[in-house]
Amino acid sequence: MENKRKVVIAEDHQLFREGLKAMLMGREDLEVVAEAPDGLAAIEVVKKHKPDLLLLDLSMPRLSGVSVVKEVKRLFPETIVLALTIHESDQYVLEAFESGVNGYCIKDASREELLVAINSVLNGKTYISPGIADNVMEGYLKGRKRLKTHSDWDTVTPREREVLKLIAEGYLNKEIGELLNISVKTVEKHRANIMAKLKLHSASALTSYAIAKGIVDKRN
C-alpha cells in the first residue's frame, strides 16, 4: 500500500519495543521507520523521519517522556503521540495530556486494547485506558485542578526536572551539560535551585526523591 503512515517507537526495553514493532508489521497502513531507546534519541529520530505517529514510553533514560512530547509538539504539532506507561495516577495522566499527548495507554493492556488505542488516535480521537478514564478525563476536560495539589514539586521547572532525572541516573555535571547543551555553571545553578526548592541537600537524596516521583526507572 502506498502512502503508509510512518511510526516511530520510543521505548527503552528492547523486548517490548520489538513486540510493538512485530505487532505493527502486519498493518498495511503503517510502517515503523525508526526506534529509539531513550528520550534524547527519540527527539533525534522524530526530527529525521517526521513520523505521523510516535509510540512513546513516558519513563525513559536521559530525557523524560513528557519533555519529549513538549519538544515534538513544538517542532511537529501534527505528529500524533500515544503515551505508553505503567503509571495510572491522576498526576501522570494530567501531566501527559497537558504536555500534548493524544492518547494514554497502560502497558499491561491487551494487544486488542493497544490496537484500539492506536486506531483511535490515528482517527483523530483522544484515547485513555478504560480503567483510568472517567474520573481523570472529567477533571482534565473541564479544566479543574482538584486532582492536582500544590507542592514543592510544582515549583520545579521542566528544565530542572530534566536535570534532576539525569542526576538520579548517575550523570556528572559535565555530562549533563553535554547532554542538554548547557554549560556546567548552568547545570550547577539548576542543581542548587532544585535542592533549595525540594529542601534536599545531597545527590543521594535527590536520587531517592526522583525514584519516589517515578521520573527515573529503577527496574534493573
pLDDT at 220: 42
Taking the CB of residue 174, how many other CB atoms lie within 10 A of it? 11
**Cell numbers at 63, concatenated:** 530525557
> At a CB cut-off of 8 Å and minimum separation 6, what does 171 contact?
179
Q: Any idea what DSSP says for residue 170?
A: T
Check: CB of residue 163 under 8 Å from CB of residue 179.
no
pLDDT at 167: 93
* CA neighbor of 118 nearest in space, from 108, 109, 127, 110: 127
Domains detected in the chain:
5-141 (3.40.50.2300), 152-213 (1.10.10.10)
For residue 125, the model assigns a pLDDT of: 94
Question: CA of 180: how far to CAs of 78, 91, 151, 170, in Å?
Answer: 25, 26, 26, 15
| Pairwise CA distance, residues 184 & 190, whole Å | 10
Low-confidence ranges of the chain (pLDDT < 70): 1-2, 133-150, 217-220
Beta bridge partners of 191: none
Q: What is the pLDDT of residues 98-125, one digit of tens each?
A: 899 999 998 888 889 999 999 999 999 9
> What's the pTM value of the predicted model, to 2 decimals?
0.75
Q: What is the pLDDT of residue 61?
A: 87
